[in-house]
């Protein structure tokens, strides 16, 4: 039923002042090892192999010595954007020894949180009822993608902004095409006078609209793909994170082309029809 059972223990360690090297160093074989985040390594000017003191007490009481054996990049979390990720990873026995209360003999055996990954979302309700029945007093919460989740709300907000942007840009494009077509009024009149039928002119206008729309869509895709690296680099530098802010995928590019090309062609036809449906003498102002 379950693929993985993980015990998650959260430790809030306060460094007693700045993280400093220990002197004299203890024996290397007796020193437990830790990993530190890149941000903490840079902020405290630490190096791999250095000995540091960590304490679970805010006042720095009862510190323990650890050796830094490497650094890691924290998992990007949009909910913690802008927060300094000064974190340490250590072995579970070392964390229990550091955080356990010596005055409480059962504190080292206490578990606050158990994370369980189920194979399917349909089993979450059964698991909640089963655990609540067998273990009264245990709080069971399920993490899911319900409508109240912040990222689901953010995605819907992005969809609303996208719809408003597409509608506003389509209106602006139609107004621009009306001005361009009005400048070509005399050209359309000459074509009508020398014998071109409305249908042929419409096909010509349609072909021009398709070419212009494809060129504009391709330019937009290339421009966004070219600038995504600069945008990601700037915001990753500003917030000191590995989070990817902009990603132009083939699916997104195809969706943009599918939306923009028909809108461009439709704007061209609508703007040109205002001239094609009037009398030829009116078009030529004669």
Structure confidence at residue 22 (pLDDT): 42
Structure confidence at residue 227 (pLDDT): 92
pTM to 2 decimals? 0.57
Distance CA 61, CA 55 (A): 6
Structure confidence at residue 241 (pLDDT): 84
Structure confidence at residue 12 (pLDDT): 34
Distance CA 71, CA 45 (A): 12
Strands 2-7 and 114-118: antiparallel
- Token pair, residue 24, equals 């004299």
Neighbours of 283 (CB within 10 A): 20
3-state class (DSSP) for residue 14? strand
Distance CA 284, CA 184 (A): 10
Structure confidence at residue 14 (pLDDT): 33
Distance CA 69, CA 95 (A): 16
Structure confidence at residue 35 (pLDDT): 93
Structure confidence at residue 146 (pLDDT): 47
- 278-285, Cβ contacts within 8 angstroms, sequence gap of 24 or more: 280/189, 280/192, 280/193, 283/185, 283/186, 283/188, 283/189, 283/192, 284/185, 284/186, 284/189, 284/190, 284/192, 284/193, 285/185, 285/186, 285/189
Q: Give the pLDDT of the chain (286 residues) as one tens digit per residue.
A: 333 223 223 333 333 333 433 434 445 457 889 999 998 888 888 999 899 888 887 887 878 889 999 999 888 877 777 788 888 998 888 888 888 777 777 777 777 777 777 776 667 777 778 877 887 777 777 665 444 456 677 778 888 888 888 888 888 877 877 777 777 767 766 776 777 777 777 787 778 778 888 888 889 889 988 999 899 999 888 888 888 888 888 888 898 888 888 888 888 777 777 666 655 555 555 5
Residue 182 near residue 280, CB atoms below 8 Å: no
Structure confidence at residue 4 (pLDDT): 29
């Amino acid at each position: 039923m379950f693929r993985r059972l993980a015990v998650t223990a959260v430790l809030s360690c306060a460094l007693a002042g700045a993280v400093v090297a220990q002197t004299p160093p203890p024996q290397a074989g007796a020193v437990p090892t830790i990993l530190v985040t890149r941000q903490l390594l840079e902020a405290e000017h630490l190096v791999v192999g250095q000995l540091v003191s960590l304490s679970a007490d805010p006042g720095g009481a009862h510190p323990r010595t650890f050796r830094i054996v490497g650094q890691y990049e924290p998992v990007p979390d949009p909910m913690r954007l802008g927060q300094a990720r000064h974190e340490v990873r250590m072995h579970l026995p070392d964390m229990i020894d550091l955080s356990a209360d010596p005055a409480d003999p059962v504190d080292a055996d206490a578990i606050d949180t158990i994370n369980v990954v189920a194979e399917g979302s349909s089993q979450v309700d059964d698991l909640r009822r089963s655990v609540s029945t067998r273990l009264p007093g245990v709080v069971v919460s399920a993490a899911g993608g319900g409508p109240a989740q912040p990222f689901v709300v953010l995605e819907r907000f992005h969809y609303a902004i996208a719809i408003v942007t597409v509608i506003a840009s389509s209106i602006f494009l139609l107004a621009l095409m009306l001005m361009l077509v009005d400048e070509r009024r005399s050209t359309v009149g000459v074509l009508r006078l020398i014998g071109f039928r409305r249908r042929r002119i419409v096909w010509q206008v349609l072909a021009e609209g398709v070419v212009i729309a494809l060129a504009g869509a391709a330019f937009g895709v290339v421009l966004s793909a070219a600038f995504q690296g600069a945008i990601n680099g700037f915001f990753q530098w500003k917030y000191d994170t590995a989070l990817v802010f902009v990603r132009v995928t083939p699916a997104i590019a195809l969706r943009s082309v599918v939306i923009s090309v028909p809108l461009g062609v439709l704007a061209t036809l609508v703007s040109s029809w205002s001239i094609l449906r009037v009398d030829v003498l009116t078009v030529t102002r004669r």
